[in-house]
């Protein structure tokens, strides 16, 4: 018997920038169902980005940050004959974006002593310049995948 198909929920674009990616980011920032607070944080961060980078559109900086911190390869554990191998695999597009957003938010959360919107803006700007913790995490994942390239033939 076949399994039910998973239907992906359609996320409407956010009201200010009319962008689905920004709405997804707001949903990732949101904690305990407080979307208005998450919107305040993200839009505040975008205002800071606009101010610091002196660009008219902070979405360009945000897009480049997501692009720079999204991984192309990752390692998955696979058990073969009593041994566990770290097998490098290509990352799906949806997962790439999800991981990039998660890493940017996590890196902002790990900073101390500033309001969240400032930390988030700082991390997004750093990621757009190929710096910052989120990009470092992507580099580590790529390095691990490169080191375990010998086990790529186990991927199916």
CB 66 within 8 A of CB 21: yes
**What are the pLDDT digits (tens) for 117-129?**
999 999 999 999 9
CATH numeric code, 20-154: 1.10.455.10
Residue 105 tokens read as 């938010």
At residue 51, the pLDDT reads 95
Q: Place 58 in a pLDDT band, splitting at 50, 70 and 90.
A: very high
Query: Over pLDDT 70: what percentage of the chain?
Result: 100
pLDDT at 8 over 90: no
* pTM: predicted TM-score of the whole model, two decimal places: 0.91
SS3 of 108-153? HHHCCCCCHHHHHHHHHHHHHCCCCHHHHHHHHHHHHHHHCHHHHH
CB 130 within 8 A of CB 68: yes
CA distance 64 to 20: 15
Which residues make Cβ contacts (< 8 Å) with residue 66, sequence separation at least 6?
21, 97, 100, 101, 104, 127
Would you kindly state where each structural domain of the chain is located, as residue ranges? 20-154
Distance of CA 77 to the CA centre of its chain: 21
């Amino acid at each position: 018997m076949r399994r039910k198909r998973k239907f992906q929920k359609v996320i409407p674009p956010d009201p200010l920038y009319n962008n689905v990616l920004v709405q997804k980011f707001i949903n990732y920032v949101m904690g305990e169902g407080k979307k208005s607070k998450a919107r305040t944080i993200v839009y505040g961060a975008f205002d800071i980005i606009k101010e610091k980078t002196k660009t008219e559109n902070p979405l360009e900086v945000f897009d480049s940050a997501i692009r720079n911190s999204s991984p192309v390869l990752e390692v998955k554990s696979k058990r073969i004959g009593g041994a566990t191998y770290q097998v490098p695999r290509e990352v799906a597009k949806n997962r790439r974006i999800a991981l990039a957003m998660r890493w940017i938010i996590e890196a902002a959360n790990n900073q101390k002593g500033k309001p969240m919107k400032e930390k988030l803006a700082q991390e997004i700007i750093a990621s757009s310049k190929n710096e910052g913790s989120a990009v470092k995490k992507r580099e580590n994942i790529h390095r691990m995948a490169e080191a375990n390239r010998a086990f790529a033939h186990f991927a199916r």
